[in-house]
C-alpha cells in the first residue's frame, strides 16, 4: 500500500484544498493529512483560524480522499511522521516549492500547483466588502 502525507491548516475549507487532497490521494492508496493545531498555527504560523482544530479535523475527515487525520504540532515532526507511518510520498502545494526537499532522504517529495484563484485570505477579504 502506497502511503501519502500532506500538511496544512485547512481553515475555511475550500475547493483549492480539496483539489490538493484529490491529487495527493491519486499518488497512492492511503492519504494522511496532518492538520496544524490551534497552538501551532498561532505560535509558529501566526495564523488565527476561524475553525478550531477539532472542527477542521471533522471537515477534512469527511473528504473522500482522506484516510487519516493527525495533528501537526511542530515544523520538525515530518521526518518522524514519515518513519512512523512508513510514508512513500510527501505532497504539498507549490507555494512551498523547495522548502521540504530535505525530506527526499526519507521519501518522494512532490509539489503540486496550487488552485490559483482561491485562498482563505481572499475569502476573508471578500466577506469584508
Ligand atoms: N492549497 C492549494 N490551493 C489553494 C490553497 C491551498 O493547493 N488555493 C494547498 C496548499 O498549497 C497546501 C494545502 O492546500 O498544500 C493546505 O493549505 P494551507 O491550509 O494554507 O496550508 P499551509 O498554511 O500552507 O500549511 O508544514 C506545512 C504547513 O502546515 C502548510
Cell numbers at 36, concatenated: 496544524
C-alpha separations of 46 from 17, 42, 43, 60, 109 in Å: 20, 5, 6, 21, 25
Residue 33 pLDDT: 99
Q: What is the pTM of this model?
A: 0.97
Question: Residues lining ligand 1, judged by CB closer than 6 Å?
Answer: 6-10, 16-17, 19-20, 36, 72, 92-93, 95, 114-115, 118-119
pLDDT tens per residue across span 2-18: 999 999 999 999 999 99
pLDDT at 36: 98
The helix (H) or strand (E) run that includes residue 67 is: none
pLDDT at 98: 97
Q: What is the pLDDT of residues 49-97, one digit of tens each?
A: 999 999 999 999 999 999 999 999 999 999 999 999 999 999 999 999 9
Q: What rounded mean pLDDT belongs to the chain? A: 97
Please give the sequence-ordered ranges of beta strands (E in DSSP) within 1-129, or none if there are none: 3-8, 30-36, 68-72, 89-93, 108-112
Which residues have CB under 8 Å from 40's CB, separation 6+? 71, 72, 73, 74
Amino acid at each position: 500500500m502506497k502511503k501519502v502525507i500532506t500538511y496544512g491548516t485547512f481553515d475555511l475549507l475550500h475547493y483549492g484544498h480539496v483539489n490538493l487532497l484529490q491529487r495527493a490521494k491519486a499518488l497512492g492508496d492511503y492519504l494522511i493529512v496532518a492538520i496544524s493545531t490551534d497552538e501551532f498555527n498561532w505560535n509558529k504560523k501566526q495564523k488565527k483560524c476561524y475553525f478550531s482544530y477539532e472542527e477542521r479535523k471533522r471537515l477534512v475527515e469527511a473528504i473522500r480522499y482522506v484516510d487519516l487525520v493527525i495533528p501537526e504540532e511542530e515544523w520538525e515532526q515530518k521526518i518522524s511522521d514519515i518513519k512512523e507511518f512508513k510514508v512513500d510520498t510527501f505532497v504539498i502545494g507549490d507555494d512551498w516549492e523547495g522548502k521540504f526537499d530535505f525530506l527526499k532522504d526519507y521519501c518522494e517529495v512532490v509539489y503540486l500547483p496550487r488552485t490559483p484563484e482561491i485562498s482563505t485570505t481572499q475569502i476573508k477579504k471578500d466577506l469584508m466588502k
